[in-house]
Amino acid sequence: MDSQVTLFGFLFQPERGSTDSSSASPLTDEAKILCACGCKTYFKKYDSRNRIRFFIHGHNRKGKFHPNSQNSLFIKGHVPTQEMRNKISSSNKGKIVSLETRKNLSKSLLGKPRKKEYVDKYLIGKNNPSWKGGVTPLQKTIRTSEKYLKWRTTIFNRDRFQCQYCYSIGNRLNVHHIKPYSTIIQKNNIKTLQNAYYCSELWSIDNGITLCKPCHKYEHKNILLSTTKR
């Protein structure tokens, strides 16, 4: 009973199995050890109930909550393997991010220019997620053709130069493709301007609608959000 200590009416004794009466205790010695997770942080060896501790609270969960841990998959500068990236990607499939979260992410990125290395690697050419096979030069050629301008004017006249969403008159107007323009080009395998001229679906006035610039922008934003939901 010599090793027992009484404090505030409670009886404390060293951990069971300990035969050393001089072992460190929170009541007699503030012994500190390194956290076993590898974060290089010292903490008290014994908790308030005189039990030996090995981890700081929360540090034994595969290192997810402390970036300095050697066991963590998210250490600054650490590059996850392709296998781990695939696992993370598959686990996120089907998850729909709330509109509020999207807005917060967008605000956090405003004013932050992309590094040239990042742009060259992920955003240019075939590396871009929106890559459609290099159809941009062809689309510009079709949009500036005489036949396209006549198609556009026909739709403006049919809709009386009025936005068909907000019914405003006098604003800058666009012709919106109900079925996406790039989809028609890909579906019909259009490679040249001559191929485009013979594609009846591309020149159907039923696929066009007059919208003012704000409504047109809003419509494309809705299309983008609907296609990004996994």
C-alpha closest to that of 42 among 13, 12, 62, 68: 68
Q: What is the pLDDT of residue 226?
A: 58
| CB < 8 Å & 24+ apart, contacts of 220-223 | 220/176, 223/180
Both structure tokens of 120:
């060259």
Q: Nearest 5°: phi and psi at 120?
A: -65, -35
Q: Shortest CA distance to 197 belongs to which of 141, 130, 153, 157?
A: 141
Residues of the chain with pLDDT under 50: 1-2, 5-28, 63, 65, 228-230
Cα dihedral 116/118/121/122 (nearest 10): -130
In angstroms, the CA 126 to CA 116 distance is 16
CA 30, CA 66: separation in Å to the nearest integer? 24
> What residues form DSSP beta bridges with 42?
34
First to last CA, the chain: 66
pLDDT at position 23: 40
pLDDT reported for residue 153: 93
- Using a 10 angstrom Cβ sphere, with 0-12 exposed, 13-18 middle and 19 or more buried, the burial of residue 84 is exposed
pLDDT tens-digit map of 96-130? 888 898 888 888 888 888 787 877 777 777 787 77
H-assigned helices in the chain: 82-92, 99-109, 116-118, 136-143, 146-158, 181-187, 193-197, 213-228
Give the model's pLDDT for residue 66.
53
Reference 102, options 112, 94, 110; nearest CA is 110
Q: Report the candidate in 26, 22, 23 with the shortest Cα–Cα distance to residue 12.
A: 26
Structure token pair of residue 11:
């009886």
pLDDT reported for residue 10: 44
pTM for the structure as a whole: 0.43
Q: How many CB atoms lie within 10 A of CB 86?
A: 11
